[in-house]
Amino acid sequence: MPRKGKKNAQGAGTIRKRTDGRWEARFTTGFDPVTGKQIQKSIYGKSQKEVREKLTQITAELDEGTYTEPSKLPLSGWLDTWLAEYIGSTKPHTKKSYEATIENHIKPALGRKALRELTPVHIQQFINHLENKKTDGKPLNPKTVKNIHGVLHSALQQAVRIGYLKVNPASLTILPKRSRAEITPLKDQQVGQFLAAIKGHEFEYLYLVDLFTGVRQSELLGLKWEDIDFEQGAITIRRQLQFLGRKYGGYQFTTPKNNKTRQIIPAQFVMNVLRQQRRRQLEMRLKAGATWNNSDDLVFTDALGNHLKHDLIYRHLKRIFTQMGIPSLRFHDLRHSYAVLSIQAGDDIKTIQENLGHYSAAFTLDVYGHVTEQMKRDSSERMDLYIQKYC
């Protein structure tokens, strides 16, 4: 039961109006085990009613044994602790992304505030500011804003778990609505132009495999010959080769996105391309002699067996797209092209989802649903033509 009427008992408090116009409530949280003196704290408010409500809440928590001392630690300090101690099992690339998000966005806006001072309004103001913030003259994408909020929410949720906060002030944030991202896959005619443009190119086989499997760039660069099963006609995606920056050790192998190994059964054309790549690599190895260096047994390498760099194959691809008159396309658009071609070929969404390595078929539908809508319209038009023959 609450200790009512016990002067100076734990939780008991007094309320007074200060000379600066604010109201203050003082309460006792316990006794110092060494001196035996009371440990007193203060809370403040703009009105007597406000501090009385706060005092009532604190008194109840003290009696129930659930009271937690608000942390004076600044948010910036807690974020450093969270990065150092609580995300050890996170992928290196993800950790790097967290650090960049914290340093570039969260700390500049909220880093100086104490954890106990953070309110849902502070977080909402921060998110609203991000929505209007421009990078390179363009506003931040709603997905980027959501990702920034996700990092902050995760860090604050850990603070709740260990008692630094009672509730997570980021849990009540209203996030910007995400519009469906515009995708720009190669159209049928452009596919033919692309195949002609890469004929004989040093990365021809790499681009072909990507166009007709849809694997991510890092997954493609991380492919090893042990992942290629020519007898079964299958490719297993077990890892990614990612560039984490010099600070994080440069290029490193990491697990696939969603931490799931997956198997792809591509068209036989793709397996034949991989056979050609193996023959080409054997020729490069003979020419390189003692300087050959493919200790990881990678499928795609340079002339000396070293792993390929993301920016190198990207720059070459951009030149090809520019020559084709579509300079805005990216490497990732080859992946989109594969997905659209698969849908148009009649593949079911579940198979496409598993081939792409998406975490759910719903996500695949969200990204490529407009393609199926177009197919429905095409089907309707074909049915109209059929009906017109007999009606």
Q: Please determine, for residue 11, whether its predicted confidence score (pLDDT) is greater than 70.
A: no
pLDDT at 107: 96
Same-fold call for 75-161 versus 188-377: no
| Sheet order of strands, 13-17 included | 13-17, 23-31, 38-45
The tens digit of pLDDT for each residue in 130-182 reads 888 766 656 788 889 999 999 999 999 999 998 888 889 999 999 988 766 67
- Rounded mean pLDDT, 286-313: 96
Structure token pair of residue 210: 């990507």
Q: Please determine, for residue 9, whether its predicted confidence score (pLDDT) is greater than 60.
A: no
Between 132-146, 270-284, 355-369, the lowest mean confidence (pLDDT) is in: 132-146
pLDDT at 285: 97
Q: Please determine, for residue 382, whether its predicted confidence score (pLDDT) is greater than 80.
A: no
CATH topology of domain 75-161: DNA polymerase; domain 1 (1.10.150)
The tens digit of pLDDT for each residue in 97-108 reads 999 999 999 999
- Rounded mean pLDDT, 241-249: 81
Flag whether the pTM goes above 0.85: no
The tens digit of pLDDT for each residue in 15-41 reads 999 988 899 988 887 777 778 788 788
CATH topology of domain 188-377: hpI Integrase; Chain A (1.10.443)
DSSP string computed for 215-279: --HHHHHT-BGGGEETTTTEEEE--EEEE--GGGTSEEEEPPGGG--EEE---HHHHHHHHHHHH
Q: Please determine, for residue 213, whether its predicted confidence score (pLDDT) is greater than 50.
A: yes
**Residue 206 belongs to what H/E stretch?**
helix 204-211
- Rounded mean pLDDT, 258-263: 90
pLDDT at 65: 73
pLDDT at 4: 40
- Rounded mean pLDDT, 189-208: 96
Structure token pair of residue 128: 């609203």
Structure token pair of residue 329: 């396309």
Q: What is the mean pLDDT of the chain?
A: 87
pLDDT at 324: 95
pLDDT at 38: 80
Domain boundaries, the chain: 13-64, 75-161, 188-377
